């Protein structure tokens, strides 16, 4: 145990955690020399690679100078905070990675608060010091101030610091040192991270933090052994969070090395391992000694702040593009997600075909929807709604987010005005060296719904925005803004260039010519604040008369194609997003125009 180190790498999104792990694996020769190590090798999921973010926590093991370093790569986005919370208990220390230019950001504060609360003593890595505008000394002062704000103990304030460039593959303990390799970081981990505690001779206690699935072996439970030993073939007890107990046999036992799982015959206290042989195990459950079962306290995870209604697709195009379209199939898929995603909640509604799904934020829910879409599901979803609470006096509380925005000074005034309209409070303004401004706000979560696209427009696509849940506060009143109306299709048909040419003056279109649409589908944003029923399928009448300008070419403005996140941001309370493996459409909840008028 004295040669084992268990650490988690935590950071704000895009501060270089996964790239740093690439360098650690490469320079420790953990990955065979003949094998090409891909960039961000730990991000193995397709969505992670496409979006450039980490969604699921993953384990790896590295050997360095007779030491085994178990590393957990954690998500950097606040919406996946549940992944971070459940793995922090598996480790003895965290590497807090901070960008040498951006400094601490909202997610940095979130994950650091969790780590300090568990009593960890972080090692701070000031990453990306090779950036032309890097300011490592200033960022280090900002990190120290953040520790103070989070009420770190005197021992935690005395943290070790390493300066690094993950992409260049070097680290240094002092800024003036010669950059060579990542050895200073390895040495700091060995020196400042305590070996795992626990008694290998005590009864077995292993808590499950995350799950994987193997097509041949079934559910794979991953966690840390806190006490005792486990051997392949052992019969063990499973103590669940609901108080029930069961027995099972360990059929396979793995450790981690590089990008692969390595078969083992035995593991003991301090090891992070993967086991199979458990049919109904969930994150937070304890695998313990069969004769002397001692369950561990459940892993606490913050409650969701946002909910959406998932329902079957009942549009005129239902069943044309997907394989799984029934409410039973959707319910089974959501139940399967609950086994892995501890921060998700699924509740039944009054309608048998609809389910209320709650999560940390829009991104966590849209990642689930995109995954289901790629698996062949057809589904409809409602507008996201924040989850309100009441205090002990019955006063209504709402979730508040800390929002940090980096934008050019020319657009800062517009951003401040828009967020103040959404009941946001401006906490501070910092002018950077390149004449950009960092704006810090506290904004109600409902005020942030639908704002991202508007923000990109206001900043001409140059602004960067990060947000993080920051607690519940008294309700701040109604929001005074309203989206413009929608352009709604009159009847089923195929769109024509002739009709769209005249409609593009009415607003912004979401469809081009030759697309199949149905009555009640939303095909554009009206230029005014009322909904407008239009006919984008109208064909030009053919006559034997020739008129002036008849042969002029019709010039159509390219339609605005909405992706899943943009579509969910766009819809109002009376609209749904229809999601299929091939299409994303927006529709009115009530397709009949006459019925819609009476509501």
319 assigned to a ligand binding site: no
Rounded Cα–Cα distance for residues 227 and 230 (Å)? 10
244 assigned to a ligand binding site: no
The packing angle between helices 409-421 and 451-458, to 10°, is: 150
Q: In the β-sheet with 4-11, what is the strand arrangement from edge to edge?
A: 58-64, 67-73, 4-11, 93-99, 123-127, 160-165, 170-172
For residue 83, what are the β-bridge partners? none
DSSP 89: G
Of 332, 314, 316, the C-alpha closest to 379 is: 314
Tell me if 436 sits within 8 A of 411, measured CB to CB.
no
Q: Please count the other Cβ atoms lying within 10 Å of the Cβ belonging to residue 320.
A: 14
16 assigned to a ligand binding site: yes
552 assigned to a ligand binding site: no
457 assigned to a ligand binding site: no
Tell me if 484 sits within 8 A of 436, measured CB to CB.
no
Q: Which two tokens stand for residue 128?
A: 């990306």
289 assigned to a ligand binding site: no
Exposure letters 51-77 (e unless 16+ CB within 10 A, then b): bebbbbbbbbbbebeebbbbbbbbbbb
With tokens 């032309």, the residue in question is 132
588 assigned to a ligand binding site: no
Tell me if 101 sits within 8 A of 133, measured CB to CB.
yes
52 assigned to a ligand binding site: no
Rounded Cα–Cα distance for residues 218 and 251 (Å)? 11
Rounded to 5 degrees, φ, ψ at 88 are -65, -25
Q: Please count the other Cβ atoms lying within 10 Å of the Cβ belonging to residue 396.
A: 11
Return the H-helix or E-strand segment holding 60. strand 58-64
From residue 464, give the alpha-carbon distance in Å to each of 44, 99, 107, 160, 457. Answer: 26, 15, 14, 30, 12
Rounded Cα–Cα distance for residues 65 and 195 (Å)? 15
What is the SS3 assignment for 266? strand
271 assigned to a ligand binding site: no
128 assigned to a ligand binding site: yes
Q: Please count the other Cβ atoms lying within 10 Å of the Cβ belonging to residue 553.
A: 6
Rounded Cα–Cα distance for residues 397 and 400 (Å)? 9
Distance between start and end Cα atoms, the chain = 68
CA 485, distance to chain mean position in Å, is 30
Return the H-helix or E-strand segment holding 82. helix 81-87
Binding residues for GTP: 14-19, 127-130
Binding residues: 14-19, 127-130
């Amino acid at each position: 145990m004295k040669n084992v180190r268990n650490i988690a790498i935590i950071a704000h999104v895009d501060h270089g955690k996964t790239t740093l792990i690439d360098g650690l694996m490469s320079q420790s020769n953990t990955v065979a020399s003949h094998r090409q190590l891909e960039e961000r090798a730990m991000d193995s999921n397709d969505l992670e690679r496409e979006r450039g973010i980490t969604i699921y926590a993953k384990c790896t093991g590295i050997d360095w100078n007779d030491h085994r370093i178990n590393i957990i790569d954690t998500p950097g986005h606040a919406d996946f905070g549940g992944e971070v919370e459940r793995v922090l208990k598996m480790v003895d220390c965290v590497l807090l990675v901070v960008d040498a230019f951006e400094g601490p950001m909202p997610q940095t504060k979130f994950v650091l608060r969790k780590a300090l609360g568990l009593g960890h003593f972080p090692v701070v890595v000031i990453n990306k010091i090779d950036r032309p505008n890097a300011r490592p000394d200033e960022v280090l002062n900002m990190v120290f101030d953040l520790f103070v704000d989070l009420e770190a103990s005197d021992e935690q304030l005395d943290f070790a610091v390493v300066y690094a460039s993950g992409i260049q593959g070097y680290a240094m303990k002092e800024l003036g040192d010669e950059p060579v390799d990542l050895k200073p970081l390895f040495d700091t981990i060995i020196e400042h991270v305590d070996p795992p505690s626990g008694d290998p001779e005590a009864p077995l206690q292993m808590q499950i933090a995350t799950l994987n699935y193997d097509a041949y072996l079934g559910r794979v439970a991953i966690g840390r052994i806190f006490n005792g030993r486990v051997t392949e073939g052992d019969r063990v007890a499973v103590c669940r969070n609901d108080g029930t107990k069961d027995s099972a046999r360990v059929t396979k036992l793995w450790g981690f090395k590089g990008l692969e799982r390595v078969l083992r015959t035995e593991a003991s206290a301090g090891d992070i391992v993967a086991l199979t042989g458990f049919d109904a195990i969930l994150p937070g459950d304890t695998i313990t000694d069969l004769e002397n079962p001692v369950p561990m306290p459940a892993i606490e995870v913050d409650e969701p702040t946002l909910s959406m209604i998932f329902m079957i697709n009942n549009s005129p195009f239902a069943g044309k593009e997907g394989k799984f379209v029934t409410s039973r199939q959707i319910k089974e898929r959501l139940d399967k997600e609950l086994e892995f995603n501890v921060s998700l909640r699924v509740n039944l509604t009054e309608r048998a075909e609809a389910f209320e799904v709650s999560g940390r934020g829009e991104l966590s829910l849209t990642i689930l929807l995109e995954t289901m879409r790629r698996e062949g599901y057809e589904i409809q979803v409602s507008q996201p709604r924040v989850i309100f609470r009441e205090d002990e006096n019955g006063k209504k509380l709402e979730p508040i987010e800390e929002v940090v925005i980096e934008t050019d000074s020319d657009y800062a005034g517009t951003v401040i005005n828009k967020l103040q309209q959404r009941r946001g409070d401006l906490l501070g303004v910092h002018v950077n060296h390149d004449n950009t401004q960092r704006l810090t706000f506290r904004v109600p979560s409902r005020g942030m719904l639908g704002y991202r696209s508007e923000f990109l427009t206001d900043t001409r696509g140059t602004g960067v925005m990060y947000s993080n849940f920051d607690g519940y506060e008294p309700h701040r009143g109604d929001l005074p803004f309203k989206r413009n109306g929608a352009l709604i299709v009159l009847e089923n048909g195929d769109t024509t260039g002739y009709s769209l040419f005249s409609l593009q003056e009415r607003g912004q279109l979401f469809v081009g010519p030759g697309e199949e649409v149905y009555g009640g589908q939303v095909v554009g944003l009206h230029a005014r604040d009322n909904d407008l029923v239009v006919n984008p399928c109208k064909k030009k009448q053919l006559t034997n008369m020739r008129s002036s300008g008849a042969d002029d070419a019709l010039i159509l403005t390219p339609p605005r194609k909405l992706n899943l996140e943009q579509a969910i941001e766009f819809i109002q309370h009376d609209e749904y997003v229809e999601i299929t493996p091939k299409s994303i459409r927006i529709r009115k909840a009530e397709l009949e125009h006459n019925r819609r008028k009476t509501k």
